[in-house]
Amino acid sequence: MKIISCCKIVPEEQDISVNNDKTLKLDTAGLKISLYDLNALEAGVELAATQEGSTVTALTVGAKVSTSNTKVRKDILSRGADSLAVVGDEALAGILPGETAKIMAGAAKKLGFDLILCGEGSADLYAQQTGLLLGELLGVPTINSVGKITINGSTARVERDLEDEVEIVEVPLPAVLSVTTDINVPKIPSMKAILAASKKPVEEISLADAGYSSAPASTVLSILAPDQADRKREIIEGDSEEQIAAFAANIRKILN
């Protein structure tokens, strides 16, 4: 079985600070695999282990400055995929899921697949669309919120973890499934896996090879931090009985 596990390379959210003009300072933030995609990578590797002769290709699409980062590339490959396919281009900075999905669809057709796995959303935009758009663009069944996958020949039996119910669905393959963070616990790569990662093949796919021409239905106008509310900042320094009583008096004012 040919499995593609998709992952996005995103800025480390703990490193993001806010500039004076309310824009986000992203250029000094480190890069990492989007948290939710670790589950897609792990699910791919786990499923491949149950299906003899399977391969897992990790696929990442994005601005060259992110996708060319060798440390993150190695991190992706150390999670167990056999190879990595990259579509990286300057033109892809700040694109929305509609465009990402088109590029991924082109790349996936080129790579060939029986099953494509995505995370439930990206850590930056968290639009929770890309996997669903991808499946629909490829004309195959596409299901989100998948908490369990079992392969039976040419069908995947999946459990969808919805708000009020668990739905069990038999999905003919090929298909695109977006998995939840509860589907597995991503393993921390072993030293052996990290060493092996640098020997694994990386395939660069150009936008032209992915058959992509830009025609976005929506574009980002701005990304700005919200205004901070004015706060009273009445702070008592010390925890003597009197100070705790004064603090309690402050709280009582609000509660009543």
Residue 11: CB minimum distance to other proteins, A: 8
Binding mask 4-33 for other proteins (x = CB under 8 A): ---------xx-xxx---x-x---------
Number of residues that bind other proteins (CB under 8 A): 76
Distance in Å, CB of 8 to other proteins, minimum:
13
Chain centroid to CA 128: how far?
A: 9
Positions 208 through 237 that interact with other proteins (CB under 8 A): 216-226, 228-229, 231-237
Token pair for 46? 């786990």
Binders of other proteins among residues 55 to 94 (CB under 8 A) are none
Element (H, E) at 148: strand 142-152
Return the number of the residue (49 or 248) whose C-beta is nearest other proteins: 248
Q: Which of residues 161-190 bind other proteins (CB under 8 A)?
A: 162-172, 175
Give the separation between CA 221 and CA 219, rounded to whole angstroms: 6
Calpha distance 13→228 (Å, rounded): 19
Residue 231, φ and ψ in degrees, nearest 5: -115, 155
Place of tokens 């079992």: 150
Per the CB < 8 A criterion, the answer to whether 37 and 76 are in contact is no
Distances in Å between the alpha carbon of 115 and those of 8, 135, 137, 174? Answer: 18, 10, 14, 5
In degrees, to the nearest 5, what angle opens at C-alpha 182 toward C-alphas 181 and 183? Answer: 95
Min. distance of Cβ 166 from other proteins in angstroms?
Answer: 5
Instruction: Look up residue 206 and give its amino acid.
Output: S
Q: Which of residues 136-165 bind other proteins (CB under 8 A)?
A: 136-137, 139-145, 157, 160, 162-165
- Kindly identify the residues of this chain, within the stretch 234-253, that bind other proteins according to CB under 8 A: 234-239, 241, 243-245, 247-248, 250-252
- Contact region for other proteins (CB under 8 A) — 42-50, 61-69, 125-133, 198-206? 125-133
Of 191 and 255, which CB lies nearer to other proteins in the complex structure? 255
Cβ at position 29, least distance to other proteins in Å:
10
Shortest distance (Å) from residue 84 CB to other proteins: 25
Whole-number Å distance between alpha carbons of 196 and 129: 33
Which residue in 97, 106, 119, 189 binds other proteins (CB under 8 A)? 97
**Could you tell me how far CA 53 lies from the centroid of its own chain?**
26
Q: Does 129 bind other proteins (CB under 8 A)?
A: yes
